[in-house]
Amino acid sequence: MRASENPIRQAALARLLSFIPPEVLAASDRMKEIRSKFVDTARDKELALRVLKLKTSFDGPVDGKEGSILIITGESHAGKTTMLERTLLVDPGLQEYKVDGMPIKPLVFMEVKAPSSLQSLAVDLLKMLGYPVKVDMKRPAAFRLLLEKLQERQVLILWLDEAQNLLQNNPVELGILANNLVTIEQNPEWPIRIILSGLPDLDMLVDNYKQIRSRADHWPLGRTTSPEHVATWLHKIVEEHATLALDDTLYYYNEDEEKWVDNEDFALRLIHASDGNFGTILRLIRDAVECGLKDHDAAVAEGTAPPSCRIGRDNFAKAYSNIVGVLNQANIFYVPHWGDLPGGMARVKLEEMRAASQQEPPSQQQDEEKAGKKVKPLRAGERRK
């Protein structure tokens, strides 16, 4: 059971929050709604096609082999789990139902614990299926029982998230793991389609084990490198989800082209800060929105608030600093030599901080003058198109 589904935990959390003043929770409550909204990408459509291929592989000449194991790999915060949840957990054909009082589970989803062996995986899956078993049950017996109970619960798709935790075994155990995954997939009495998602370490299953490679639809998720994509997600979250506006450090009016344009340099900084990981980019955007909302609420309380809350570079610098813990002089969103700093939310080494501190962070005016930009000021309450 996940924490969000545990009524006892939810009651305990509600009591804790009841002692916090409502005005303090205002920005957090709004962020909860903003974070619950999704950002669609081309990857969602790609996943839908791959899952459809996985499901239809039960019927036809590829039954039992080609495309029967979907393996999705990517760095942490690449968006693997969220993308799969959005596709699988809402699929009407994969919802749990009952037959003569017995729960039927077309889809079984489990996060693999670290470290995990084939024996512990079998035991954990049996518990998830509702069968109490001894933790020290021997591997052969646990696996045989697992095959039986997967059939009894009429499981059609088994999704193991964080599957790289299965690789922390010796080569002999890994070979047994690969063979047993194939056994689940090609069980003559009840074949099951398998989805494995996890870190790039998981690629080694495809590279080193022919029995997996011949059955796998392998999809390594690449990093984001497009400023245009970043700009699309930025506008989506800030303007649509949060109903706020971007300030002139991120979105400005180009007099020569006579149109509003996105700050490409900022997008490149955001890509570098997140190492191009989709989930990390979204996290930084949402955290920047939260910083902006909280700063605006504080200014309202002091009577110094501007007419509206606008999200800009300063909010991203603050969000980045809150996560990574760097000074402004070594903040990717401020320094001119940001490409020389470590990206991917990595902490900057002390000597790098000291070297960076010799240079002052550029002002907004300096940035604009350097880029030759003429910025059209916004009117109070104006929202950019």
Token pair in block for residue 372: 């030759």
Q: Say yes or no: 47 and 196 in one domain.
A: yes
Range of the domain at 346: 226-371
Q: Say yes or no: 177 and 56 in one domain.
A: yes
In a domain, 28, yes or no: no
Q: What is the pLDDT of residues 183-221, one digit of tens each?
A: 999 998 999 999 999 999 999 999 999 999 999 999 999
* Under 8 Å between Cβ of 106 and 129: no
In a domain, 23, yes or no: no
Strand ranges for the chain from DSSP E: 69-73, 97-99, 102-104, 107-111, 157-161, 193-198, 216-220, 245-246, 251-254, 259-262, 310-311
Coil, helix or strand at residue 69: strand
Token pair in block for residue 175: 């070979």
Q: Could you say which of 187, 220, 253 is where a domain stops?
A: 220
Q: Could you say which of 220, 238, 258 is where a domain stops?
A: 220
Q: What is the mean pLDDT of the chain?
A: 86
Q: What is the pLDDT of residues 98-140, one digit of tens each?
A: 999 999 999 999 999 988 888 999 999 999 999 988 888 999 9
Q: Which range is most confident: 57-66, 96-105, 250-259?
A: 96-105
Q: Say yes or no: 230 and 196 in one domain.
A: no
In a domain, 108, yes or no: yes
Residue 265: pLDDT above 50? yes
Which CATH number does the domain housing residue 94 bear? Answer: 3.40.50.300
Q: Could you say which of 151, 186, 220 is where a domain stops?
A: 220
Q: Say yes or no: 249 and 342 in one domain.
A: yes
Q: Say yes or no: 129 and 232 in one domain.
A: no
Q: Say yes or no: 211 and 231 in one domain.
A: no
Rounded CA-CA distance 219/173 in Å is: 24
How many structural domains are present in the chain? 2
Is the bond preceding 61 in cis, omega lying within 30 degrees of 0?
no
Q: Say yes or no: 97 and 159 in one domain.
A: yes
Residue 165: pLDDT above 90? yes
Among residues 161, 126, 384, the alpha carbon closest in space to that of 260 is found at 384
Q: What is the DSSP letter of 159?
A: E
Residue 25: pLDDT above 50? yes
> What is the pLDDT, as a whole number, of residue 335?
93
Rounded CA-CA distance 384/380 in Å is: 11
Q: Say yes or no: 208 and 232 in one domain.
A: no
Among residues 74, 194, 70, 222, the alpha carbon closest in space to that of 125 is found at 194
Run of H or E including 180? helix 171-186
Q: What is the DSSP letter of 273?
A: H
Q: Say yes or no: 61 and 76 in one domain.
A: yes
Q: Say yes or no: 249 and 334 in one domain.
A: yes
Rounded CA-CA distance 109/124 in Å is: 11
Q: What is the pLDDT of residues 321-359, one digit of tens each?
A: 999 988 888 899 999 999 998 888 776 554 544 554 454
Determine how β-strand 193-198 pairs with β-strand 69-73: parallel
